[in-house]
Every structure is written in structure tokens, then in C-alpha cells.
Amino acid sequence: MAIFPEIDLSKCDGCGLCVTVCEPGGLILVDDPIVAIVETAICDWCADCEAVCPTGAIRCAYEIVFDNV
């Protein structure tokens, strides 16, 4: 299973911005919960959804480490 960002649904107002920026289609808008993760989609860990969310509902709980070899 892919690693996805964590969504705090109590902070989500359903604006849909995260859905529009997610190129792999890993997020969808539904009624309840407001935003759901598509488990079969591939998350490329771009963190765009976290950056665009105006309410801070999305948290990418992974750390990107650059290999300076």
C-alpha cells in the first residue's frame, strides 16, 4: 500500500484544492468524510496537497532527504 498524507477531517472544509493538484488522482471529494484517499492510486509524495490546503488539514508525515552523493 502506498504511503499517503494524513488528513484531519475535522479541519477540512471541502474546498477541493487538494484534489485538483494531485496529479496521480490520489484524493477525491466525497460527502462523508469530505476528502478521502484513493487507496489504489499512487502517491508520488510531492506534498502539493499539504502546501495548497488553506486550513492545514493535510500533513505529509514523511521527510524528504536529499542524497548529495
Judged by CB under 6 A, the chain residues 6 through 65 that form the site for ligand SF4 are 7, 12-18, 21-22, 24, 26-27, 34-35, 43-49, 52-53, 55, 57-58, 60
**Least distance from C-beta 48 to ligand SF4, angstroms?**
4
With contact defined as beta carbons under 8 Å apart, do 56 and 14 qualify?
A: no
Classify residue 49 as exposed, middle or buried by CB count within 10 Å of its CB (0-12, 13-18, 19+). buried
Helix locations, 1-69, DSSP H: 17-21, 48-52
Which of residues 45 and 68 has its CB atom nearest to ligand SF4 in the complex? 45
Which of residues 3 and 69 has its CB atom nearest to ligand SF4 in the complex? 3
